[in-house]
């Protein structure tokens, strides 16, 4: 699911207010499509909308079908095929086909199931929404049912062609230790890439609103901050201070947790000393090997912004299973 897509929450709120709501979900695409499988649009009974499944004429047609679905209570599986010549007019960049599942809330999808989905998302608990488009059977499942899909954020149909699996992962989160120049570049880049960034630095002169306007800043000591935030499989930790007093407590917490990425700034020599400290702290070679140091992909980066690009690229490669 897209990071900023709060369609389930919106649909539940509209339904409970008596407005009525239908969820439209992209379930399949061929060719070029501006929204990935799993993208959602909420259509209210009064015509209000939020989110997107495509754009242009396709989206308009989905809204019309959703209003009909709210009237008769029946789900609809829609298919739109677009030629290259007409693609731009309906929001498909180079032509293609999309299929969209429209589900009225309280009828096709129960309010209770949607509420359970929303609660799981609020708790940062991954969950699978599974629907059989032939039988209409709907079920929420744990991440263990589809581990590969959860890891890759990949919603889609199973091989039977009837079972659609919608992945609802917790939002990606980036915890940056150290309010340095690289952080000033990395945090807005990460936000664009879909992360919730949090900056941690007890040095208030560095971690100021003036240097990081509009960002979430914690001036706690790093070990206290990560304990407060929590560490899970959707969290990346980036250490940028060069100061073991600040970096190491957060690093040790991450090594003991199941974060998907740990990166630490510093030269090869600096990293070797870091490894020694972690060994002395009792961590195994396998745990220490999870640290990416020196941090970032080797792209010949020069300057804070390019280093930030290399870090974000490495985070993405690890997240998507292209790099250990």
Mean pLDDT of the region 181-190? 97
Strand partners, 218: 200
pLDDT (tens digit, 9 = 90+) per residue, 292-304?
A: 999 999 999 999 9
pLDDT at res. 59: 85
Residue 165 has pLDDT above 80, yes or no: yes
Q: Classify residue 202 by burial, with Cβ atoms within 10 Å: 0-12, 13-18, 19+.
A: middle
Report the alpha-carbon distance of residue 246 to residue 101 in Å, rounded. Answer: 49
| Angle (CA) 4 117 152, round 5° | 55
Q: Classify residue 139 by burial, with Cβ atoms within 10 Å: 0-12, 13-18, 19+.
A: exposed
Q: Could you give the C-alpha distances from 166 to 125, 158, 257, 294, in angstroms and in order?
A: 14, 11, 27, 36
pLDDT band at 95 (very low <50, low <70, confident <90, very high): low
pLDDT at res. 3: 45
Q: List, in order of start, the domains of the chain with CATH numbers.
A: 7-126 (no CATH), 172-319 (3.40.50.720)
Give me 149's structure tokens: 């899909």
Q: Looking at 69-78, 127-136, 148-157, 194-203, which range is the least confident one?
A: 148-157
Whole-number mean pLDDT of the chain? Answer: 91
Q: Which residue has the tokens 């091989």?
A: 159
pLDDT (tens digit, 9 = 90+) per residue, 224-265?
A: 999 999 999 899 999 999 899 999 999 999 999 989 999 999
pLDDT band at 84 (very low <50, low <70, confident <90, very high): very low
Q: Is 72 left (phi over 0), alpha (psi -120 to 50) or beta?
A: alpha
Report the alpha-carbon distance of residue 234 to residue 259 in Å, rounded. Answer: 6
Mean pLDDT of the region 204-230? 95
Mean pLDDT of the region 159-179? 95
pLDDT band at 171 (very low <50, low <70, confident <90, very high): confident
CB of 243 within 8 A of CB of 271? no
- pLDDT > 70: what percent of the chain? 92
pLDDT (tens digit, 9 = 90+) per residue, 174-183?
A: 999 999 999 9
Verify cis geometry, omega within 30 degrees of 0, for the bond prior to 324: no
Question: In this structure, what DSSP letter does residue 169 have?
Answer: P
pTM of the full structure: 0.76
pLDDT at res. 56: 62
pLDDT at res. 166: 97
- pLDDT > 90: what percent of the chain? 80
pLDDT (tens digit, 9 = 90+) per residue, 261-278?
A: 999 999 999 999 999 999
Residue 86 has pLDDT above 50, yes or no: no
Strand partners, 291: 262
């Amino acid at each position: 699911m897209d990071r900023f897509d709060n369609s389930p929450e919106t649909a539940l709120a509209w339904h409970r207010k008596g407005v009525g709501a239908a969820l439209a979900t992209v379930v399949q695409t061929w060719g070029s499509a501006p929204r990935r499988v799993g993208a959602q649009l909420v259509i209210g009974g009064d015509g209000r909308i939020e989110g997107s499944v495509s754009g242009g004429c396709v989206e308009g047609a989905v809204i019309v079908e959703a209003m009909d679905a709210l009237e008769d209570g029946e789900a609809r599986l829609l298919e739109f095929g677009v030629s290259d010549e007409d693609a731009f007019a309906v929001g498909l960049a180079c032509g293609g086909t999309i299929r969209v599942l429209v589900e009225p809330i309280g009828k096709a999808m129960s309010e209770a199931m949607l509420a359970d989905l929303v609660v799981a998302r609020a708790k940062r608990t991954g969950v699978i929404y599974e629907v059989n488009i032939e039988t209409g059977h709907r079920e929420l499942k744990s991440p263990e049912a589809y581990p590969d899909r959860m890891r890759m954020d990949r919603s889609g149909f199973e091989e039977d062609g009837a079972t659609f699996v919608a992945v609802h992962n917790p939002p990606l989160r980036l915890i940056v230790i150290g309010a340095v120049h690289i952080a000033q570049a990395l945090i807005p880049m990460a936000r664009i890439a879909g992360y919730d960034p949090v900056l941690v630095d007890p040095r208030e002169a560095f971690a100021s609103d003036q240097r990081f306007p509009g960002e979430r800043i914690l001036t706690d000591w790093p070990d206290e901050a990560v304990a407060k935030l929590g560490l899970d499989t959707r969290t990346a930790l980036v250490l940028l201070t060069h100061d073991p007093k600040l970096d190491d407590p957060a690093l040790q917490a991450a090594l003991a947790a199941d974060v998907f990425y740990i990166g630490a700034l510093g030269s090869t020599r600096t990293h070797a000393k870091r490894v020694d400290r972690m060994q002395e702290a009792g961590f195994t070679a396998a745990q220490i090997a999870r640290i990416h140091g020196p941090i970032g992909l080797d792209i010949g980066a020069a300057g804070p912004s390019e280093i930030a690009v290399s870090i974000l690229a490495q985070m993405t490669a690890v997240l998507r299973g292209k790099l250990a």
